[in-house]
Structure 1
């Protein structure tokens, strides 16, 4: 659906050249929600703006549905952009126009008949749930309502792709949840492929199928949300995962517990259950598990949890217990016996 191949973007400033993107390759499949996450300055905004060529790459190619946009004439590029909607953090609504007009004006400029414009405005206002605000002005709306108008305006063109540029970062947590639910609805009911960028893990967790992690203009990890965040390799990815699981254990506690066993981190996914498995450990082996900390979250529809557990017992019995846990598809990590140098376990 969307394919970036070896895309680089260099900006020339008074202070010299800035490499915003460095040889980025990425593929977004039809019908999925693909997230790009990274901290400020990672290159996310530049990346998403290359998809519709608001930023033309310095090198590399951008293709949508098999058409290489970087080779199109201005007229053909303009036609291709109609299939790509975009929503922004700042809403970008016309302050002196009503909600109805904010959606209808771009349609009118596209040359659609008046009756079709009216049908589409009413249809998509209904889909985003603010049909009652048709005659209101942006100043009369909440942040969430403004974003719903922006989403309605973007999908009123009936695009195949929706680009979301930090669309929830200016919203409060409850409104963010509502907007994410709306994006899920649009993806599932209208079949629109969504590419979004964010610095918020909750966005990736809730709605994304696959994710790319960016750092310094490069994609450092890329894959399914489940694979990337249950087995992170890059330090940036690990930082994002740690933002979900804060397991801060006092050093004094670690020092005391290390004398009688091991402290491990147990990660479990989907129908793997931490506590019943631990109950079996205590029955099968001469090991006594003690849960020190735990968190369960969702990666879209899949439960994912981490427990910090003290396994009390002899080294040989603990080794057997760990082997059993791994056979039950539980990822076992942690502080090795007699090692308390790092008091944060994640």
Structure 2
């Protein structure tokens, strides 16, 4: 569907060159929700804007439906952009236009017939749940409602791809959840491919099929959401997940706990999250397990648990307990941070 092949982007700021993207390669499959996550300044916004050429790469290729869009004429690029909708953190609504007009006006400027404008506007207002607010103005809407208008406006062009540039970062947790539910609905019912960037771990967990992790303009790791969260390979990915999951503890506490046993990270998926494995460890071995931190998160298709656990006991018993946990298909890692 979309391929980024060795894409780089350099900005000239005065006499200084800034490498926003460095040799980035990604493939986004038709019908999936693909997320890119990273800390501020990682290059995420530049990356997403290269997909519809709001930013033109310095080098590399951007392939959409087997076409290198860097080679398209202005006219053909304009046609392509109509098939790539985009939503932003700031909504970008016309304050003097009603909800209905905010959706209809871009279609009118595009030359869509009047009856078709009405059909599409009503259809997508219904999909985003704002039929009863069609005559309201942006100043009368909540942040979540404004974002729903922006989503309806993007959908009204009936795109094949929807780009989301930090679309939930200005929203409270409950509103964020409702917008994520809407994106899942759009993906499932309309079959639209969604490419999103975010610095919010819960957004990736909740809706994405696959994810790429960015740092300093580069992709440092990518794969299925389950694999990346359960088995992060790169130090930056491990740091990001650990910081967001709050599984780190003060060094003084860590030292004290290690005096009487082992400190381990346990990661478990799906059905294993429901098993009382720590209670079983306490019965089978001369080990007293204590949960220091952690919890269970719901991914798009399954649950994943992360626990920081202290295993109190001598070396041989704690080692036997760890081997038992591994046999239960639980990922066990020494908490060496």
Interval containing the TM-score (normalised by the shorter chain): over 0.9
Unpaired runs of at least 5, structure 2: none
Alignment of 1:1-346 (within 5 A): 1-249=1-249, 253-273=253-273, 276-335=276-335
| 1:338 paired residue number | none
What is the CA deviation profile of residues 159-204 of structure 1, one whole-angstrom value per residue up to 9, with x for unaligned ones?
1000001111111222111111111111111110000011111111
Cα pair distance change 1:133/1:35, threshold 3 Å = same
Deviation, 1:260, is 3.5
CA contact (8 A) 2:161 2:195 kept: yes
Provide the aligned length of Structure 1 versus Structure 2.
337
TM-score in terms of structure 2 length = 0.94
Deviation, 1:283, is 3.3
Unpaired runs of at least 5, structure 1: 336-341
CA contact (8 A) 2:246 2:294 kept: no
| 3-state SS, counterpart of residue 272 of structure 1 | helix
TM-score in terms of structure 1 length = 0.92
Mapped to 2, the partners of 1:317 and 1:270 lie a distance apart of 27
Cα pair distance change 1:30/1:262, threshold 3 Å = same
Cα pair distance change 1:10/1:247, threshold 3 Å = closer
Deviation, 1:248, is 4.7
Mapped to 1, the partners of 2:310 and 2:172 lie a distance apart of 38
| 3-state SS, counterpart of residue 30 of structure 2 | coil
Deviation, 1:44, is 0.6
Mapped to 1, the partners of 2:252 and 2:39 lie a distance apart of 33
CA contact (8 A) 2:94 2:138 kept: yes
Cα pair distance change 1:13/1:309, threshold 3 Å = closer
CA contact (8 A) 1:274 1:307 kept: no
CA contact (8 A) 2:246 2:293 kept: no
Mapped to 2, the partners of 1:307 and 1:172 lie a distance apart of 26
Q: Calculate the aligned-residue CA RMSD, in Å.
A: 1.8
Deviation, 1:51, is 0.4
Deviation, 1:109, is 1.9
Mapped to 1, the partners of 2:268 and 2:310 lie a distance apart of 17
Cα pair distance change 1:70/1:306, threshold 3 Å = same
Mapped to 2, the partners of 1:116 and 1:301 lie a distance apart of 36
